Amino acid sequence: MVNKTILITGGAGYIGSHTAVELIQAGYKTVIVDNLYNASLGAVDAIGEITSTEPIFYKGDCTDSQFLKKVFTENKIDAVIHFAGYKAVGESVKKPLAYYKNNLDSTITLLEGMKEFGCTKFVFSSSATVYLDENVVKYNEKTTKTNRPFSPYGTTKLVQEYILQDTALGEEFESVGGLQVVSLRYFNPIGAHSSGNLGEDPNGIPNNLAPYITQVAVGKLDSLPIFGADYSTPDGTPLRDYIHVVDLAKGHLAGLDYVFKQSGKFFDPINLGAGKPVSVFEVIASFEKAVGQKIPYKIVERRAGDLPEFFADCAKAKEVLGFETKLDLDSMTADSWHWQKTHPNGFSK
Ligand code: NAD
Ligand code: UDP
C-alpha cells in the first residue's frame, strides 16, 4: 500500500477510469470526482469490479468551490490528477464559451482549493494539440507551441498550461511550499482495459477514429469516412501516434512518482505517446485482424485542421519518468474491439 491519496478529477471518464484502476492496483488510495457530464456510474462500478474495491466517488463539479472544499475536507489529498474537462474538438468550435468556462474555471477553482488545503502536487492532462510547427513532425517538448490551436478546445489546453506554469512559478503557493506541476501531453489514446469491462463510451456519433471503427464493426454505423487519402504520406492517409490507454494510464503513475520527487516552484511538460507514426489504413488493417472481418470505408474530403503527420519524441518521458509504452497497435485494436463487442451500447444496458 502506498501511503498516498490521489484526487482524480474526471475519473469516471475514459482515461481517468483506466488511470484509477492502475493507481488502485499500485496501492494508492484514490478519490474520484466527476460530474458525469460525459461519463456514467457504470465506469465507477467497473473500476470497483476490476480492482475488487469500493471506489471513493463524489459526483460533483470542479468549477464548484464548495464541492471541492467538501472533498478536500473529507480526504487528505496528497496529489491531484486533473482529467476533468470537455474534450470534443468540433463541439468546442460551436460552443467556445462553454469550453472556455468549464475547462479554465475547473483548473482555476481546483488550484484555489489545493492552495487552501496545502496540496501542491498536480498532474495535468494536456495534449499534443498545444504544438504547431509546420516544419516539424516529431514533436519534442521544446517544439514551438502554437498561439492559436485549431480549436477552442485546443486553446483551453494551451491556456491551462499557461495558468499552471504561471501559478507554479508565481508567489501564490509559496506559503505552502510551492506548486509542482507535470503536464502530460498525450498523443492519440485508444484501446480499452484488457478485462473488456472498461473502455471509451462516446456520446452520439464518435469524432475519433478508433471508436468510429468499432461502431462500424459492431453494426451501429454503416461505414467509416476516411478524411482524405491524398496526403503526402506513404499510403496517402495521415500518420498519428496511437498509445494504448493502459500504457497512458501507467504514464500517470510515473508522472506522480516524478512530481512527488519535486519541491518548490516546478512546472515540466512531458510527451506521452508511443513514438511511432501509424496511418489510418494501418489502424483499419489492425482492427480487421481483431474483428475478423473487413471494415467498410469510404474516402471523403479532408477534415479541416488535420495535419498529415505528427508523433511524439518520447526521449524525455524515458529519461525523466523511466516510461516507455509496452502495448502495440494490435493490442490497442484487440482491446478496443473486446470492449465494444461485449458492450455495444457502452455502459448503458
Ligand atoms: P472524458 O470526457 O472521457 O473524461 C473527462 C471527464 O471529465 C468526463 O467523465 C466528464 O464527465 C468529466 N468532467 C467534465 N467537466 C467536468 C467538471 N467541470 N467537473 C467534474 N467533471 C467534469 O475524456 P478523456 O478522453 O478521458 O480525457 C481526459 C482528459 O484528457 C481531458 O482533459 C482531455 O482533454 C484530455 N485529453 C484527451 C485526449 C483524448 O484523445 N482522449 C487527448 C489529449 C488530452
Ligand atoms: N479519421 C478518419 N475518419 C474518422 C475519424 C478520424 O479518417 O471518422 C482520421 C483523421 O483524419 C486523423 C486520424 O483518423 O488522420 C485520427 O483522428 P482522430 O480524430 O482520432 O484524432 P486526432 O489526431 O485528430 O486528434
Residue 234 confidence (pLDDT): 97
Range(s) of the domain holding residue 251? 5-190+243-272
Does residue 82 fall inside a structural domain? Answer: yes
Q: Please report the atom of ligand 2 found closest to the CA of residue 306.
A: 11
Residue 349 confidence (pLDDT): 57
201 lines ligand 1 (CB under 6 A): no
Section 21-50 average pLDDT:
97
- Residue 106: pLDDT band (50, 70, 90) is very high
Secondary structure (DSSP) of 78-99 = -EEEE--S---HHHHHH-HHHH
Residue 91 confidence (pLDDT): 92
* Residue partners of 166: CB distance under 8 A and separation at least 6: none
Secondary structure (DSSP) of 42-73 = HHHHHHHHHHTS--EEEE--TT-HHHHHHHHH
Q: Please report the atom of ligand 2 found closest to the CA of residue 303.
A: 11
Does residue 142 fall inside a structural domain? Answer: yes
Does residue 153 fall inside a structural domain? Answer: yes
Residue 210 confidence (pLDDT): 98
Q: Tell me how far the alpha carbon of residue 122 lies from the centroid of ligand 2, in angstroms.
A: 30
Q: Where are the alpha helices (DSSP H) in 89-237?
A: 89-94, 96-116, 152-169, 209-217
Cell numbers describing residue 221: 454505423
Annotation says 258 is catalytic: no
**Residue ranges around ligand 2 (CB below 6 Å):** 188, 207-209, 212, 224-227, 238, 240, 280, 303, 306
Section 290-315 average pLDDT:
95
Section 285-305 average pLDDT:
96
Does residue 302 fall inside a structural domain? Answer: no
Q: Is residue 47 over pLDDT 90? A: yes
Q: Which ligand is nearest to the CA of 211?
A: 2
149 lines ligand 1 (CB under 6 A): no
Strand-pairing partners, residue 189, are 243
For 97-106, 154-163, 248-257, 299-308, which range has the lowest pLDDT when averaged over its residues?
299-308
Using alpha carbons, select from 234, 272, 239, 238 the residue that is nearest to residue 253: 272
Does residue 167 fall inside a structural domain? Answer: yes
Q: Is residue 332 over pLDDT 90? A: yes
Q: Give the CATH number for residue 164.
A: 3.40.50.720
Q: Please report the atom of ligand 1 found closest to the CA of residue 60.
A: 20
Catalytic residue among 153, 186, 242, 258: 153
Q: Where are the alpha helices (DSSP H) in the chain?
A: 14-25, 41-51, 65-74, 89-94, 96-116, 152-169, 209-217, 245-260, 280-291, 315-316, 329-342
Does residue 81 fall inside a structural domain? Answer: yes
Half-sphere exposure in the Cβ direction for 314 (13 Å, CA)? 20
Does residue 205 fall inside a structural domain? Answer: no
Give the three-state DSSP class for 220: coil
254 lines ligand 1 (CB under 6 A): no
pTM: 0.98
Q: Which ligand is nearest to the CA of 298?
A: 2
84 lines ligand 1 (CB under 6 A): yes
In angstroms, the CA 128 to CA 248 distance is 14
Q: Please report the atom of ligand 2 found closest to the CA of residue 238.
A: 15
Does residue 235 fall inside a structural domain? Answer: no
* Total Cβ atoms within 10 A of residue 153: 24
Number of domains in the chain: 1
